[in-house]
């Protein structure tokens, strides 16, 4: 799905986070999201250390790779993600998202992903200032602002995070960079317009897509 936001005419993309899907019927959920026109599938990987929750890993990415042609974006909520970049690439991830908080050498991690020929984005938690990405923003494909504390779906968007989206939009535009600016957490029909107005061009949504009372198609449409 590609939508136009006003007044900037940025193309808004939707990434469907499968964390909120029924894992017993994952292929069907992803297929419905694909039919609904989402731009990519967002896979949340949690290790129980970096975040207080455990989710899924490379086997699920490999299985998804067989059932969808959409890009698979893997959000690594794990300590020292550099250890797993190649495994996720081999499993079928098209791009990886790594947190600035979860590692001792961000530049090396970004470079390792680029050497693998895979898309790379950096993520900042709600309490992390935007300056944390200053030294790397010109080297990545995406900057993702967590609009909730990572680890769980279904949380309410933290309003103060939108000021960081505004600041990053300004940094990206001022520097003339091409990187995407994403938001993840608590994105719904109610909050999506605020996130877009703040400058986001990728909306990651789980509950709003897979746990909506309406169809997945209508739920995706409502994010626009």
* Residues that are catalytic: 44, 184
The residues of the shown chain that bind ligand DX5, judged by CB under 6 A, are 17, 19-20, 42, 44, 75, 148, 150-151, 153-155, 184-187, 204-208
Taking the least distance from each CB to ligand DX5, the nearer of 76 and 130 is 76
Site for Zn ion in 113-172 (CB under 5 A): none
Residue 155 contact partner, candidates ligand DX5, Zn ion, none, CB within 5 to 8 A by sort of partner: ligand DX5
Least Å distance between CB 12 and ligand DX5? Answer: 16
Least Å distance between CB 146 and Zn ion? Answer: 8
Taking the least distance from each CB to Zn ion, the nearer of 199 and 206 is 206
Least Å distance between CB 42 and Zn ion? Answer: 6
Least Å distance between CB 40 and Zn ion? Answer: 12
Residue 187 contact partner, candidates Zn ion, ligand DX5, none, CB within 5 to 8 A by sort of partner: ligand DX5
Taking the least distance from each CB to ligand DX5, the nearer of 109 and 188 is 188
Site for Zn ion in 31-90 (CB under 5 A): 44, 75
Q: Which of 184, 187, 195, 219 binds Zn ion (CB under 5 A)?
A: 184
Please, are residues 114 and 140 in contact by the beta-carbon 8 Å criterion?
no
Convert 74-100 to b/e letters by CB count within 10 Å (16 or more is b). bbbbbbbbbebbeebbebbbbbbbbbb
As a whole number of angstroms, the distance between CA 152 and CA 106 comes to 24
As a whole number of angstroms, the distance between CA 42 and CA 140 comes to 17
> Which residues have CB under 8 Å from 76's CB, separation 6+?
45, 84, 88, 96, 97, 98, 99, 102
Report residue 62 as tokens.
Answer: 């490999």
Please, are residues 47 and 80 in contact by the beta-carbon 8 Å criterion?
no
Taking the least distance from each CB to ligand DX5, the nearer of 121 and 186 is 186
As a whole number of angstroms, the distance between CA 106 and CA 110 comes to 6
As a whole number of angstroms, the distance between CA 4 and CA 63 comes to 33
Residue ranges that bind Zn ion, judged by CB under 5 A: 44, 75, 184
């Amino acid at each position: 799905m590609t939508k136009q936001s006003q007044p900037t005419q940025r193309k808004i993309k939707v990434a469907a986070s499968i964390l909120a899907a029924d894992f017993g019927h994952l292929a069907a959920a992803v297929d419905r999201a694909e039919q609904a026109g989402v731009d990519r599938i967002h896979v949340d990987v949690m290790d129980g250390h970096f975040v207080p929750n455990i989710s899924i890993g490379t086997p699920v990415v490999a299985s998804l790779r067989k059932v969808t042609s959409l890009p698979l974006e893997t959000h690594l909520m794990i300590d020292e993600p550099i250890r797993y970049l190649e495994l996720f690439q081999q499993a079928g991830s098209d791009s990886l998202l790594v947190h600035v908080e979860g590692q001792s050498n961000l530049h090396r991690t970004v470079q390792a992903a680029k050497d693998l020929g895979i898309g790379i984005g950096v993520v900042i938690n709600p309490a992390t200032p935007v300056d944390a990405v200053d030294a790397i923003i010109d080297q990545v494909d995406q900057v993702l602002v967590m609009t909730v504390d990572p680890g769980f779906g279904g949380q309410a968007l933290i309003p103060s995070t939108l000021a960081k989206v505004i600041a990053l939009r300004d940094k990206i535009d001022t520097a003339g960079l091409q990187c995407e600016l994403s938001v993840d957490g608590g994105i719904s029909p109610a909050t999506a317009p605020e996130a877009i107005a703040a400058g986001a061009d990728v909306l990651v949504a789980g509950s709003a897509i897979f746990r909506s009372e309406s169809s997945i198609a209508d739920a995706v449409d409502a994010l626009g």
